[in-house]
C-alpha cells in the first residue's frame, strides 16, 4: 500500500528573461514537452521554455541542477533535479520535499495521462498532480530489484527497469522477467522505457527489446541505447556515441553527424512535441526531426 508523503514545499524564484535560439545551441541536459504544447529545454541551472515562437529563459541558483523533464496533468510540469522533484504549476516552481526520499531524482518518467514516476536512490515515488506517494518494495512493487529506471505501458501501468530484469504488471499481478536475451549470458541493464499500444520498448546496452504478446525480441545496435521516442508506428532511439536510430517495421536505420544535420553522435534525450516534431538532444545541442528529416533549430 502506498503512503502519502507530500511533505513541505519550497517555492523557487528564478530570474526570468528572454532567450534566443543561440541559448539552446550548447549545454542542454534534458528536453521535455508539456500538454499545452510548450517545449522545455534544461541546462545545468536554467530552463528555456518555447511557447509558440517565444523563448523564455529562467535562471535558477547553483544548488538546483536539472536532469529530466516530464509532463504531469494539464498545467503541470515536473523536473528532476539534484535537489529533488520540482513542480511547475500556475506559474510557480515548487521544490517538493519528503523525509522518506533522498534529495536527488535519478530518473523521471510520465504516463500518457500525466502520472509521473521517479526514482531516488532505491526508492520509487508516484505523483499524480495532487499527491506524492512513496512506493513500498515488497508491497507496491517486487523487492530485490536493482532499479535503473521507471516508465509506463500504454494503459498507464508502471514498468520498472533494473539490472538484468524488467518488472511489469498484468491483471494486477507483478511479473519479474530476467534473462531477456536467451542467446547471451550477459544480463542487460534497462536504461529507458517507452510504450505504444500493445508494445513495451526497453533500451539497453545491446539494443532495444520489444515486448509484445508476452514475448521479447531484441533489435541489436552497435552502441548502447539510452533514450527512446515513439512516433506513431516508428521508434526513434538515441545511442551513446552511436547517433540516432529509427526502427520501422523491424528495420533499423542509423543517422550520424556528417551527411545529416545531427549536431553530435552522442544522443541522450528525445521527445515528441504536440505538433509532431521530435526534439533531439545530442552532445548538449538541439536538433529537430520533422516528417522523418533532421533539421536545424527553428529561427
**Tally of domains in the chain:** 1
Residue 86 within any structural domain of the chain: yes
State how far the Cα of 16 lies from the Cα of 23, in Å rounded to an integer.
14
Q: Which residue has the cell 553522435?
A: 265
Closest CA to 287 of 247, 226, 236, 235: 236
CATH number for the domain that contains residue 97: 2.130.10.10
Residue 102 within any structural domain of the chain: yes
182/49: higher pLDDT: 49
Measured CA distances, 77 to 89, 98, 228 (Å) = 7, 19, 20
Residue 53 within any structural domain of the chain: yes
Residue 277 within any structural domain of the chain: no
Residue 224 within any structural domain of the chain: no
- Identify any residues that bridge with 204 across adjacent strands, giving them in sequence order: 207
Closest CA to 256 of 219, 284, 223: 223
Residue 7 within any structural domain of the chain: yes
Domain that holds residue 49: 1-135
The answer to whether residues 132 and 117 touch, using CB atoms and an 8 Å cutoff, is no
Least reliable range by pLDDT among 123-132, 256-265, 282-291: 123-132
Position 144 pLDDT exceeds 50: yes
Position 266 pLDDT exceeds 70: yes
pLDDT attached to residue 48:
96
pLDDT attached to residue 5:
44
Residue 67 within any structural domain of the chain: yes
Residue 212 within any structural domain of the chain: no
pLDDT, average across residues 255-284? 94
State how far the Cα of 246 lies from the Cα of 192, in Å rounded to an integer.
16
Amino acid at each position: 500500500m502506498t503512503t502519502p508523503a507530500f511533505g513541505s514545499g519550497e517555492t523557487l524564484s528564478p530570474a526570468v528573461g528572454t532567450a534566443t535560439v543561440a541559448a539552446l545551441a550548447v549545454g542542454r541536459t534534458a528536453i521535455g514537452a508539456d500538454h499545452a504544447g510548450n517545449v522545455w529545454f534544461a541546462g545545468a541551472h536554467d530552463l528555456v521554455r518555447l511557447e509558440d515562437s517565444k523563448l523564455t529563459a529562467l535562471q535558477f541558483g547553483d544548488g538546483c541542477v536539472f536532469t529530466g523533464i516530464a509532463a504531469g496533468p494539464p498545467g503541470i510540469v515536473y523536473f528532476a533535479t539534484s535537489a529533488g522533484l520540482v513542480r511547475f504549476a500556475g506559474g510557480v516552481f515548487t521544490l517538493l520535499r519528503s523525509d522518506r526520499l533522498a534529495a536527488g531524482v535519478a530518473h523521471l518518467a510520465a504516463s500518457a495521462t500525466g502520472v509521473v514516476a521517479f526514482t531516488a536512490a532505491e526508492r520509487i515515488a508516484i505523483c499524480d498532480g495532487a499527491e506524492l506517494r512513496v512506493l513500498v518494495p515488497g508491497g507496491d512493487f517486487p523487492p530485490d530489484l536493482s532499479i535503473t529506471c521507471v516508465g509506463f505501458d500504454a494503459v498507464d501501468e508502471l514498468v520498472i527497469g533494473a539490472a538484468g530484469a524488467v518488472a511489469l504488471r498484468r491483471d494486477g499481478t507483478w511479473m519479474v522477467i530476467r534473462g531477456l536475451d536467451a542467446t547471451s549470458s550477459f544480463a542487460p541493464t534497462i536504461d529507458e522505457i517507452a510504450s505504444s499500444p500493445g508494445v513495451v520498448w526497453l533500451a539497453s546496452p545491446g539494443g532495444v527489446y520489444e515486448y509484445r504478446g508476452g514475448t521479447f525480441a531484441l533489435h541489436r545496435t552497435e552502441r548502447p541505447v539510452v533514450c527512446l521516442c515513439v512516433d506513431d508506428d516508428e521508434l526513434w532511439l538515441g545511442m551513446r556515441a552511436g547517433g540516432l536510430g529509427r526502427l520501422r517495421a523491424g528495420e533499423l536505420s542509423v543517422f550520424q553527424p556528417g551527411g545529416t544535420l545531427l549536431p553530435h553522435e552522442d544522443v541522450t534525450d528525445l521527445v515528441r512535441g504536440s505538433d509532431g516534431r521530435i526534439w533531439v538532444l545530442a552532445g548538449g545541442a538541439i536538433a529537430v526531426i520533422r516528417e522523418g528529416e533532421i533539421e536545424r533549430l527553428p529561427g
